[in-house]
Amino acid sequence: FSDYMRAWSIVNKVFNIVVKGDITMSYIKAIVPMNDYRLFMDMESGSVVIVDLSVKLNTMKYKELADERVFRSARTDGDYVVWGDGRVRLTAKELLDVVLLGEYQ
């Protein structure tokens, strides 16, 4: 429960820059692919988020990230995190949903 509350607190801080689901600015400052399919995200709001994508690798949307070379190719344009040749492209909101809901999403 405390992990959920901590994640919820981070999400609330990050989404202070979002109005009714519309992004008002680019808000992913930097990303770093980490071991065990975790993604470190430094947000423009000052928050830091670590997304554990290992729980999603068996889904259609995320399955290409199971290839470690593809996962490590992550880059951001400030609005999206993109892997490989762009076939996997996720918004910060989608990644934060993984933080909150994990495998239950």
**Which conformational region is residue 33 in: left (phi greater than 0), alpha (psi within -120 to 50 degrees), or beta?**
beta
Give the C-alpha separation, 25 to 31, whole Å.
17
- The token duo for 10 is 């981070």
pLDDT in tens, 51-82: 999 999 999 999 999 999 999 999 999 989 99
Given a cut of 50, is residue 23 above it in pLDDT? no
pTM of the model: 0.73
Do residues 18 and 25 make contact, with C-beta atoms less than 8 angstroms apart?
Answer: no
